[in-house]
Chains A and B, each alone.
Chain A
Amino acid sequence: MNKPFLRPPSGQNSLRNQPDDRGRFGFFGGRFVAETLMPLVLQVEHAYEAARRDASFQTELDLYLKNYVGRPSPLWLAERLTRQFGGAKVYLKREDLNHTGAHKINSCMGQILLARRMGKTRIIAETGAGQHGVATATVCALFGLPCTIYMGAVDVERQKPNVFRMKLLGAEVKAVESGSATLKDAMNEALRDWVANVHDTYYLIGTAAGPHPYPQMVRDFQCVIGNEARAQMQEAEGRLPDVAIAAVGGGSNAIGLFHPFLDEPSVRLIGVEAAGHGIDTDKHAASMARGKPGVLHGNMTYLLQDADGQIQEAHSISAGLDYPGVGPEHSWLFDSGRVSYVPVTDDEALEAFHLCTVKEGIIPALESAHALAHVAKIAPEMKPSEIILVNLSGRGDKDIFTVAAHSGVTL
């Protein structure tokens, strides 16, 4: 079976043939790691190149995605939300219905199969809210591999249920006290672990960022979202959507949705950044709206940083968007103008969270609620004949404590 999603087209005029041989998306991306790690990063690159050309790898992955993850995920016409907004038709791509409740498992499944092919016997990962940590611990349990999850001490405290889930699944959770003790520090600590355990360890990165080949590889594994949605939309409507929208933290769910549509000029692509308390405050996570290009965690990309190049704290009510950088392909798509990136605040996301819950009976992740909040802004201005495709990247069960706290409710 010829699967398109691990083999992007190679035409000169395609936006889908990035990155180049150096792992660059235009100016962004690359491999900015210490020499000790460089041979490992190259090893992952070569192993991934071989795997994606190997039909048996694809067949194996497809089988796990179908029978374990539960793919394909449905495309849902949200009729009550559509009526509420009074404009464009709104479709939700239901990544929340995947095993473990979010899109993260798509890439974890691909990467764990790669790690096994590479003969690696130990897995490490970073996590912010704990969703990627849970997905990683899940695939490690499935294949009987030991795993260590790095999580900022601040996040360990505010995401206790996910910490317990990871432990139930057999993972070791290490609280990271260094730096600001959040996601970026967890990633630093995972890189430090990798450098010290180069021979047996595979670093399973959670988003489409980090040194090449991770941004490309994670994107390729997440493209299952956009490829399925595209085919499902053709089936339901006989055409492509007018707008595709997704939330962007590191940006893996968004790039997975957007990539199959990049060469379709009729499809407007919109990434939603977390504006926290507002992009003109010092509490947001809008690295493209307010950051500058720089180097962190192995790639050149837009980063929240001060004038001296020191990395700043990000803030978002959604822990999954609470990161001061973004995947390098988004930086490139932002600079080239192919994708528009817009900010949505904590309050706007919360409002969309409640609206989706009561109108559709779907509790969305706070990340996904950011995308829905922008739909609420643009759908009323669009014609009923137009279509918006939203990536509902995860379910919101993990967020009920945050939402309760915001509503003054003690659980």
Chain B
Amino acid sequence: MSRIATRFAALKREGRGALIPFLEAYDPDLATSTAILHGMSEAGADLIEIGMPFTDPMADGPTIQRAGQRGLKAGATLLGTLAMVRVFRERDDTTPVILMGYLNPIVAYGAERFCADAAAAGVDGLIAVDLPPEESDLLAPYALNHGLDIIRLVAPTTDEARLPLVLSGASGFIYYVSITGITGTRSATGADLSAGIARLRRATDLPIAIGFGIRSPAQAAEATGIADAAVVASALIETLAKDLDEDGHARPGTAERVLDQVRTLANAVRATRVAA
């Protein structure tokens, strides 16, 4: 069983949902993002999502755009991001790692070689934001060959007619984009989430994570009460960004402040029992 399936099965037995915190590779530098990555599972991350910086992140709001720009300025490449995962795997062989990014750097790297290298580094799943199911033959066959899950996005705009296509070939978990909008802007209401997740549950047995707009411990708790996991990204990056000095460099303790926030979020998620 894959690390992702194993982790969700274990959490189900525990009767709680998962916290999936996000970090952008090399933001603001390799050492700080490595420190955040290494501290995350101890701080309560159940799965970890790593953003791969891209010059033109069209689904992201200003917070993650700037994180990507800082990452690129610090020298982020796919090769470097995979190296971060490889080093992390030497310390932690159980926490699933998902890479999230845009297609072009993967195409430039070579989709097949990228899947091979990502699997070898210890990556468990891929989210390619600008790869809808209609185009997935560019990446999915190679991911499948190398045992990587392709995590599909489902949005509020994904209608009933389209849902089976989006779910076909999905594995690992489903990422429910909770709002029509970009990352880090607004949040869905509990009622909207409940309706959206109920619709998805009828169509898939895969675990469901909610992302986009989850910022506070209360929102994370609410999301894991409705779905199986909560992704928190922009709120963590804002904490990091606020802590940087005027030149955009990390200060002593920057990583620790991000991890403190992960701990707070994790406590809220762990205190929420899932209705059986």
* Chain A residues proximal to chain B, CB less than 8 Å: 22, 30-40, 42, 178-179, 184-185, 188, 191-192, 195-199, 292-298, 303, 305, 307-311
Contact = CB atoms under 8 A, between A and B. Distances in A.
Contacts of B162: 38-39, 42
B107 A295 contact: yes
B103 interface: yes
B137 to A, nearest CB: 10
Interface in B72-96: 72, 77-78
A37 B180 CA distance: 9
B129 A34 contact: yes
Contact of A32 (B77, B132, B152, B159): B132
Given A34-B129, A309-B108, A196 B181 contact: yes
Interface stretch (B16-24, B56-64, B117-125, B249-257): B56-64
A295 B55 contact: no
A331 to B, nearest CB: 14
A179 B57 CA distance: 9
B130 A34 contact: yes
B54 A195 contact: no
A32 B108 contact: no
Nearest to A188: B58
A36 B155 contact: yes
B134 interface: yes
A35 B132 contact: yes
Interface residues of B, number: 42
Interface of B: 54-59, 61-62, 65, 69, 72, 77-78, 102-109, 129-132, 134-135, 152-159, 162, 166, 177, 180-182, 185
B185 A36 contact: no
A34 B108 contact: no
User: Among the interface residues A22, A40, A179, which one has the most CB atoms of the partner chain B within 10 A?
Assistant: A179
Contacts of B102: 295
A292 B109 CA distance: 12
B55 A311 contact: yes
**Majority secondary structure of chain A interface residues (helix, strand, loop or mixed):** mixed
Contacts of B156: 36
A39 B58 CA distance: 17
B181 A195 contact: yes
B183 to A, nearest CB: 10
Contact of B104 (A40, A192, A305): A305
Nearest to A298: B130
A292 B107 CA distance: 10
Given A32-B132, A305-B104, A310 B55 contact: yes
B59 A296 contact: no
Contact of A196 (B103, B106, B129, B180): B180
B104 A34 contact: no
Nearest to A312: B55
Contacts of A42: 162
A31 B132 contact: yes
A178 B63 CA distance: 11
A179 B55 CA distance: 7
Given A36-B180, A39-B159, A295-B104, A310 B62 contact: no
Nearest to B53: A310
Contacts of A33: 58, 130, 132
Given A35-B132, A36-B177, A184 B56 contact: yes
B107 A36 contact: no
Contacts of A195: 59, 180-182
B152 A35 contact: yes
User: Among the interface residues B78, B166, B177, B181, which one has the most CB atoms of the partner chain A within 10 A?
Assistant: B181
A308 B155 CA distance: 29
Contacts of B107: 293-295, 309
A294 B61 CA distance: 23
A294 B153 CA distance: 22
A212 B166 CA distance: 18
B185 A196 contact: yes
B56 A196 contact: no
A300 to B, nearest CB: 8
User: Among the interface residues B58, B134, B185, which one has the most CB atoms of the partner chain A within 10 A?
Assistant: B58
B58 A34 contact: yes
B114 to A, nearest CB: 10
Closest 4 CB pairs of A and B: A309-B108, A309-B105, A36-B155, A196-B181
A191 to B, nearest CB: 5
26 contacts: A30-B134, A31-B135, A32-B131, A34-B129, A34-B155, A35-B154, A36-B155, A36-B181, A38-B132, A38-B134, A38-B155, A38-B157, A179-B55, A179-B65, A179-B69, A188-B58, A195-B59, A195-B181, A199-B180, A293-B107, A308-B78, A310-B54, A310-B104, A310-B105, A311-B55, A311-B104
B135 A32 contact: yes
A222 B152 CA distance: 36
